[in-house]
Amino acid sequence: MTGGARRVTTPDGVELALHRLRAFRDGRPAVLLVHGAFTNHRFWLHSSDGTQAGGMAHFLGAAGLDVWLADLRHHGESAREPRRGAWTFEDWVLHDTPTLVARVREETDGAPLAWLGHSAGGAAGLCWLARVAAAAPIRGIVTLGTPGPRRLGPVRRTLAAATMAVSRALGRFPARALRFGNEDEAAEIIAEWMEWNVRGRWLGMDGFDYFAGLAALNTPYLGVAGGADRIYAPPKACRQVVDRVGAARKMLAIAPGLSHRGLVLSDRARVACWPNVVAWLKETL
């Protein structure tokens, strides 16, 4: 990583950390990697054996892309929640996302840029794009394991309700203790994301319907689903998003044998997933 974390401040005064894999000054296409719940920017750096050399960020960098990695609020080296319940998932959408994109564009002199998000990190980018639609300052978006707000069956509804209840009772979701990831999630960030999916609608506090808004999105879109993801983002749920996006250039790629986290962390992803993402990014950018 070059020169340590850059510090950027959102419109609501939250300090975020932004990392660059290495410095370039030749205008090459850039990609901003955005983690989902329960983790941080390091998610993109490590392979399944824990070494940094095999991570997806390094794979993208070796392919000639200018790689940037974000820490969303309450994650990694970014600011932590000042009090219980202060932040929601929509803060990722309305504040963190445009701030991070603007800083990358500034430092790359407006080079072609794509957003690449895993799970809820992909949803944050999609929701922001639904707001700005035709004025989007990026050239493409890739999501790995990002499901649509499908109506859940009784088992998944129970799990989602339990997640919300535990998060609000403790003021956080204990992801580390439960081995869901290396970051405990702020209560209302994970609770709002769960609630959106339980209700079957991505509905903002002001009534804006983010999922319906995707129909106005004309930014090229690649949705990637893990063929072995049966719980978090099954291919059918990821197809929901692709079908909703209005862009003329869009597609769903199913990576056989890969789980939700395996899209980024599995050694098999180096063959079954990442090369397809690189090819799409190069063609798009």
Q: Which two tokens stand for residue 63?
A: 């392919």
Is 234 part of any domain? yes
Kindly report, residue by residue over 134-150, the tens digit of the pLDDT.
Answer: 788 999 999 999 999 87
Is 185 part of any domain? no
Return d(Cα 252, Cα 222) in angstroms, integer. 6
Kindly report, residue by residue over 48-76, the tens digit of the pLDDT.
Answer: 555 545 799 999 999 999 999 999 999 99
Closest CA to 119 of 91, 143, 90: 143
pLDDT of residue 49: 53
Is 16 part of any domain? yes
Kindly report, residue by residue over 147-185, the tens digit of the pLDDT.
Answer: 998 766 777 778 888 899 999 999 999 999 999 999 999
Return d(Cα 60, Cα 55) in angstroms, integer. 9
Is 12 part of any domain? yes
pLDDT of residue 200: 87
Is 188 part of any domain? no
Is 199 part of any domain? no
Q: Which two tokens stand for residue 89?
A: 């998932």
Is 161 part of any domain? no
Return d(Cα 209, Cα 190) in angstroms, integer. 19
Q: In sequence order, which residues have a C-beta less than 8 Å from that of residue 141 and are 6 or more positions away? A: 114, 115, 116, 117, 122, 125, 126, 129, 219, 220, 221, 222
Query: How is residue 17 annotated by DSSP?
Result: E
**Domain housing 267:** 6-148+210-284
Closest CA to 107 of 19, 192, 211, 228: 19
Our count of domains for the chain comes to: 1
The domain that contains 91 carries what CATH number?
A: 3.40.50.1820
Mean predicted lDDT score pLDDT of the chain: 93
Q: Kindly state the average pLDDT of the residues 193-198.
A: 87
pTM: 0.95
Q: pLDDT tier at 121 (50, 70, 90 boundaries)?
A: very high
Return d(Cα 95, Cα 219) in angstroms, integer. 20
Return d(Cα 129, Cα 138) in angstroms, integer. 9
Kindly report, residue by residue over 217-256, the tens digit of the pLDDT.
Answer: 999 999 999 999 998 899 999 999 999 999 999 999 999 9
Is 171 part of any domain? no
